Amino acid sequence: MTPTTPHPNTGGPQRFPVVVVGAGPAGLAVGNILRAASVDCLVLETETREFIERRPRAGVLEEWAVRGLQQRGLADNLVERAQLHTECEFRFAGERFRFSYVELTGHHHYVYPQPLLVTDLVREYADVRGGEIRFGVRDVRVHDLDTDRPSVSYVDPATGRREEVRCDFVAGCDGARGVTRAALPDTARISRHDYGTGWLALLAEAPPSNDCVVFGIHPNGFAGHMARSPEVTRYYLECPPGDDPDNWSHERVWSELQERLAATGTGPLTEGRLIEKRVLDMHSYVVEPMVFGRLFLAGDAAHLTAPIAAKGMNLALHDAFLLGDALVAYLTKGEETGLDGYSEGCLRRVWDYQEFSQWLSEVYHGTSSGDAYRAGTTFARLRRLFTSPAAAAAFAEQYLGTAPAY
């Protein structure tokens, strides 16, 4: 392993075996795995610690992802505080249909808000495992990735000076809007899919109105209800792509949610102040391979999965486990197999989850497409879930990410 120059701002370039760009779930999980094996690394993050510990996003974690965190000593708070979800509910044609995946499979989801997971991971990395992390860095650039002496440079927010960090590997974990994906050569294949629809993503200061996730399939558009905590609930409303959140007043949001999620035997939703309101254009992409020279992409930097099936954070953690373990094996024992198989090992699960998201998108959006044919096939898919045990088992397996092999 190359020795580390520990002190920053010495005037000359610093050196770390690994520089991780981005402190989201992927980057922080990689950093923690490296530090647990006493491998030095530097995490660079453009935002402040307070910001990343509060940024609301995902909440649904699959059992294998929680197990992976547990095995790496990263899930103590999560296991103590997460809610267990065992069922979901589809509402369509004015009726509610309960889908108990725990009864079918014995497996459940964990619900733990992403800001809490990020808070746990930063604390463990920086405060417990002694990892180096720099927040608020500006204008991050990656250099010489196709050599065995890559480097990363950034502008230090305190001094305004450009700092250079030399390393053996760069982990590109800087999400969908980062810089590392842009460093790929033209030969990298980026496959994109645009769903042609938008979702208004909402967080309401209101307790959940149902004891499980609800998917509302309605001619006005999809609506989703997902508990985040006893006080906060995430809602989604299908809207035109590129719609302006200001088009959605408090009254309009709640009236559409009440209408799209209504079904026989259900009461009105508990309304509350909207603390997040933004439009997500539903699109996905996959970068292949996820490696270029000494740059290894992980998480949303490598593949975006529209939040249709709540898969993105799970995939980010899957990549991080494979990458962290592979880097440790290489840097401590010279074993190359993990790094060689990294991209392929990630992409099998990535493509499987992409396919499931595409399938589910049609279920959510077919009815509101205005196309009677698509509406008909949507209802056929939904009916099949509740009449065919084989279809139900296949759905549960994909929804939970429990296939025996990917």
* Chain residues that interact with ligand FAD, rule: CB under 6 A: 21-27, 44-47, 52, 57-60, 114, 140, 173-175, 177-179, 201, 280, 299-300, 307, 310-314, 316
Amino acid at 355: E
Nearer Cβ to ligand FAD (298/363): 298
Smallest separation (angstroms) from ligand FAD to the CB of 376:
29
Smallest separation (angstroms) from ligand FAD to the CB of 129:
18
Nearer Cβ to ligand FAD (282/382): 282
Q: How far apart are CA 25 and CA 320, in angstroms?
A: 8
Taking the alpha carbons at both ends of the chain, their separation in whole angstroms is 32
3-state secondary structure 321-384: HHHHHHHHHHHHHCCCHHHHCHHHHHHHHHHHHHHHHHHHHHHHHCHHHCCHHHHHHHHHHHHH
Smallest separation (angstroms) from ligand FAD to the CB of 186:
21
Q: How far apart are CA 23 and CA 171, in angstroms?
A: 11
Nearer Cβ to ligand FAD (131/299): 299
Is the CB of residue 119 less than 8 Å from the CB of residue 28?
no
Smallest separation (angstroms) from ligand FAD to the CB of 368:
20
Smallest separation (angstroms) from ligand FAD to the CB of 162:
14
Nearer Cβ to ligand FAD (121/269): 121
Crossing angle for the helix pair 312-333 and 63-71, nearest 10 degrees? Answer: 30
Q: How far apart are CA 115 and CA 100, in angstroms?
A: 28
Nearer Cβ to ligand FAD (289/384): 289
Nearer Cβ to ligand FAD (38/48): 48
Smallest separation (angstroms) from ligand FAD to the CB of 356:
12
Nearer Cβ to ligand FAD (305/378): 305
Nearest in space to 100 (alpha carbons), one of 401, 406, 400, 405? 400
Smallest separation (angstroms) from ligand FAD to the CB of 25:
4
Q: How far apart are CA 189 and CA 255, in angstroms?
A: 43
Crossing angle for the helix pair 342-365 and 389-400, nearest 10 degrees? Answer: 130
147 φψ region: left (φ > 0), alpha (ψ -120 to 50), beta (else)? beta
Nearest in space to 276 (alpha carbons), one of 111, 50, 46, 55? 55
Smallest separation (angstroms) from ligand FAD to the CB of 333:
27
Nearer Cβ to ligand FAD (60/286): 60
Six token digits for residue 213: 């996730």
Is the CB of residue 331 less than 8 Å from the CB of residue 39?
yes
Is the CB of residue 66 less than 8 Å from the CB of residue 79?
yes
Is the CB of residue 217 less than 8 Å from the CB of residue 378?
yes
How many CA atoms are closer than 13 Å to the CA of 174, on its beta-carbon side? 26
Smallest separation (angstroms) from ligand FAD to the CB of 379:
26
Nearer Cβ to ligand FAD (78/179): 179
